[in-house]
Amino acid sequence: MKKHPVDDLFQKRLASLEKKPSELAWKRIREGQKTKSRRMVAWVWYAAASVVLTLLTGYLVWQGQNDISSPVPGSSEIAKVEQIIPKKDLPGDSISVKDKGVLGQELKISLPAEQPSLAKQEVKTEAPLTKPNLERRVEIDKIDRPAPVQVAKIEPVKTEELKVEKTEILQSVAPDKVMPNTVEMARREEKRPDRTIIVEVEEPVSEGKDKSKSRLSRVFRQLKNVREAEPVDWDDVGFNPKSIIARADDRTNDDEKISGKRERKN
């Protein structure tokens, strides 16, 4: 395409036009670069600070949520109690494991609900037989009980035998360590009336915990309640908006009364 003569003239002369910059120009460029690098450093610090702040806030929120999470009534809970029973007490016990050479042998015995308060009771016995003492782990599943948290402590069994109606024995043994005919299954015995199990139930003290929590976590909890459309405990928040609105309304009414009186006077 042919170029316009004016374009051609100006392009030829001015395309390579050069002008000498002043001495200050280079210094200004250098200073500008330093300023930019300083800004970058400041930005890095700001970014680091914001990350730390975010992590801290996240941790606080997470901690608050953990505190809030309370057990739902009616849900099943398992209370684990480790009971150490001296070996000498065992001979007469209905659960007897004769093989002492197997490690990690675990007997799990499910008991029937003999007591009316317990829907299901499970007795789990771990029998590390090399040790002098046997550890008996009792797991109690409570389904019907309304209490949220219960810790059961079982005193050492005074009577030597536990009544077992239905027994389940689980053995988790390394296959190479299993020796045939060394373990005799727990003997089942029919109901024995002289069984005594003492269960001590401790209720968790939740109020003391609540008070010790920070106000921030309490406010967060109430915010969560608002979000999930659950009732808000305004005592935890620290103020009740309803009472504030009521006060404002009272004031307005007073003003109206005063102004009404003034009008009447006039």
Nearer to other proteins, 19 or 211 (CB): 19
Q: E-assigned strands of 36-150?
A: 77-86, 105-111, 120-127, 133-142
| Interface with other proteins, residue 265, by CB under 8 A | no
Residue 59 as a binder of other proteins (CB under 8 A): the answer is no
| Closer CB to other proteins, 9 or 248, in the complex | 9
In the chain, what is the greatest distance between 2 CA atoms, to the nearest angstrom? 122
28 binds other proteins (CB under 8 A): yes
Q: Which is nearer to other proteins, 28 or 191 (CB)?
A: 28
Q: Residue 251 Cβ, how far from other proteins at the closest point, in Å?
A: 53
Please say whether the beta carbons of 82 and 155 come within 8 A: no
Are 76 and 143 a contacting pair, CB within 8 Å? yes
* Burial class of residue 229, CB neighbours in 10 A (0-12, 13-18, 19+): exposed
Residue 6 binds other proteins (CB under 8 A): yes
Q: 199 forms bridges with which residues in the sheet?
A: 154
Amino acid at site 170: L
Asked if 20 interacts with other proteins (CB under 8 A), we say: yes
Q: Quick one: which of 2, 7, 73, 231 contacts other proteins (CB under 8 A)?
A: 7
Q: Which two tokens stand for residue 259?
A: 């102004």
Q: Using CA atoms, how far apart are residues 235 and 218, in angstroms rounded to an integer? A: 10
Kindly state whether residue 36 participates in binding other proteins, applying the rule CB under 8 A. yes
Choose between 33 and 54: whose C-beta lies nearer to other proteins. 33
Smallest distance, Å, CB 22 to other proteins? Answer: 6
Q: Count residues binding other proteins (CB under 8 A).
A: 26
- Decide if 124 contacts 108 (C-beta within 8 A): yes
33 binds other proteins (CB under 8 A): yes
Cβ closest to other proteins, residue 5 vs residue 231: 5
Closest C-alpha among 159, 183, 182 to residue 169 = 183
CB nearer to other proteins: pick between 3 and 251 = 3
Under rule CB under 8 A, residue 2 binds other proteins:
no
- Is 23 a residue that touches other proteins (CB under 8 A)? no
| Residue 254 sits in the site that holds other proteins (CB under 8 A) | no
Please tell me whether residue 38 binds other proteins under the rule CB under 8 A.
no
| Cα 249 → chain centroid | 43
Shortest Å, Cβ 258 to other proteins: 58
Q: Is 25 in the site for other proteins (CB under 8 A)?
A: yes
Which residue lies nearer to other proteins by CB, 44 or 149?
A: 44
Rg (CA), the chain: 39
Tokens 């909890």 locate to 221
- Check if the beta carbon of residue 106 is closer than 8 Å to that of residue 172: yes
Residue 203 φ/ψ, nearest 5 degrees: -85, 135
Q: Site residues (CB under 8 A) for other proteins?
A: 4-11, 13-22, 25-26, 28-30, 32-33, 36
